[in-house]
Structure 1
Amino acid sequence: MTTSVTETHRAAAPKILVLGATGPTGRHIVSQAVNRGYDVTALVRSPEKADLKGAKLVVGDARDEKALRQAIKGRDAVITALGTPASPFREVTLLSTATRALANAMKAEQVSRLIAITGMGAGNSAGHGGFLFDKLIFPLLLRKVYADKNRQEDVIKRSDLDWTIVRPSILNNKPGGNAIRTLTDLNSFHGGSISRVDVATFILDQVTSDAWFGGSPLITS
């Protein structure tokens, strides 16, 4: 693996690539990163609809390894906030397919730091969303989405990258600035929520920190 961001870029503003930058959480990530003085690139499919002030836009599909390599070149870290709509009936493959292409592109461009958002319900956080989420929302609307999130996490964990997987609890659009709890022992946790603003803050804090290298914390307010 290459040298981490924390070792070589403590003084310089990090250069980051954001995938899923036009999504509701991705927009907060880009905005906060720009406000921190980061050098931000976003891979987007429709630049005319992006409206990401302060970010350099690279046009392409997140499943296209060639486009990913172009966007990753010269970056210090990659943040993926890719999401996909609820899919009660159709199989979902976007997240795992894009992440597989991303891992290959990062290896080719010698960029090692990856921070990925999946969600509560992935991996060992399944069954900890509370009654409504676990018994109704998850099985009826999100089962196929989370099957792909699990495949996505497997791709990341098998990669030779300095990865952090972040699993937010139920997302809301409330103001940020709340205390963020990071949990790995979920035995007493059942449900919770967190603002997208606070998720963005936590994600960006990981760019220059190795505290959660190889970790998959659930974060909640």
Structure 2
Amino acid sequence: MAKIAVVAANGKAAKKIITEAVNRGFEVTAFGRRAENDTDAKNYIQKDIFDLTREDLKGYDAVVDAFGAWTAETLPLHSKTTQHLADILSGTDVRLLVVGGAGSLYVNPEHTIQVADGENFPEAFKPLAQAMAAALSELRKRKDVKWTYISPAADFQAEGERSGKYILAGEEFTLNPAGESVISYADYAIAMVDEIESGKHIQERISVVGA
């Protein structure tokens, strides 16, 4: 049975990941800033990410970083929180899996143009995409951490149904057979927990799209 910690556990994606893991029999500890446990995890610890220590995360098989920030003032926290978690997991066997974004996926074989560079990419989402891309760029420099960054499809649906199916892809923007880039939080959670179980993509960015 895998023992995992989910950080920023009260977010929508985090809660889906926790539910999926609990249903598979994982031992899950949720870490969140709120006093109340709004997740399916039996173990809940109220603690800010920056207050987490190496000792807090000792003994887990994996840590899921589900942090999200949306305002101009907080966007840099994407990099800062991920780096803090990487620092306290440095040199250990505890894996770090990050809930990523789609804007940094590549749209050309040379990997020089990203989704967020496109003319049709909404201006309102560019700062968020840039912040998440910066966090990934910093993570790529870490050879001392067993990290995996998982990008969802472009249309990441919080209330989407759990189909139980998804397509696993790599660094490039991928469409499903219907020509869509869409996935529900619930199906993304399946992919996340599958990766925790398999451990096939250490120090890699992968992506998932609904089948």
Task: Report TM bin, short chain.
Answer: 0.7 to 0.9
How big is each residue's C-alpha offset from its partner over 1:51-71, in whole Å with a ceiling of 9 and x where there is no partner?
Answer: 22333112211133xx24343
**Which residue is 1:82 aligned to?**
67
1:92 equivalent in alignment to 2:75: yes
Matched residue count:
199
How far the C-alpha of 1:116 sits from its partner, in A, is 0.9
**Which residue is 1:71 aligned to?**
56
Is the partner of 1:216 in helix, strand or coil?
A: strand
* Matched-pair identity in %: 23
Q: CA 1:129 to 1:175, structure 2 compared with 1: closer, same or farther past 3 Å?
A: farther
**Which residue is 1:192 aligned to?**
181
Deviant stretches of 4+, over 6 Å: none
Contact (CA 8 Å) 1:41, 1:71: kept in 2 or not?
Answer: no
Is the partner of 1:72 in helix, strand or coil?
A: coil
Is the partner of 1:217 in helix, strand or coil?
A: strand
For residue 59 of structure 1, the aligned residue among 46, 66, 85 is 46
**Which residue is 2:110 aligned to?**
none
Is the partner of 2:50 in helix, strand or coil?
A: coil
Q: CA 1:91 to 1:84, structure 2 compared with 1: closer, same or farther past 3 Å?
A: closer
Contact (CA 8 Å) 2:171, 2:207: kept in 1 or not?
Answer: no
Gaps of 5+ in 1: 1-12
Is the partner of 1:58 in helix, strand or coil?
A: strand
**Which residue is 2:209 aligned to?**
220
**Which residue is 1:205 aligned to?**
194
Return the alpha-carbon distance in structure 2 between the equivalents of residues 84 and 71 of structure 1.
23
How far the C-alpha of 1:218 sits from its partner, in A, is 2.1
Return the alpha-carbon distance in structure 2 between the equivalents of residues 70 and 167 of structure 1.
28
**Which residue is 1:3 aligned to?**
none
**Which residue is 1:7 aligned to?**
none
**Which residue is 1:28 aligned to?**
16
Return the alpha-carbon distance in structure 1 between the equivalents of residues 174 and 183 of structure 2.
18
- Write 1 or 2 for the structure with the bigger share of helix: 1
How big is each residue's C-alpha offset from its partner over 1:143-195, in whole Å with a ceiling of 9 and x where there is no partner?
Answer: 22222212211232222122211110121122112431122363775851100
**Which residue is 2:6 aligned to?**
18
Contact (CA 8 Å) 1:21, 1:29: kept in 2 or not?
Answer: no
Is the partner of 2:90 in helix, strand or coil?
A: helix
How far the C-alpha of 1:25 sits from its partner, in A, is 0.8
How far the C-alpha of 1:113 sits from its partner, in A, is 1.0
For residue 106 of structure 2, the aligned residue among 124, 136, 139 is 124
Return the alpha-carbon distance in structure 2 between the equivalents of residues 143 and 128 of structure 1.
10
Is the partner of 2:135 in helix, strand or coil?
A: helix
Q: In the alignment, residue 150 of structure 2 is paired with which amino acid?
A: V
Please report the TM-score for the alignment, with normalisation by the length of structure 2: 0.82
What is the correspondence of 1:137-152 to structure 2 with a 5 Å cutoff? 137=122, 139=123, 141-152=124-135
1:38 equivalent in alignment to 2:20: no
Gaps of 5+ in 2: 108-112
How far the C-alpha of 1:96 sits from its partner, in A, is 0.6
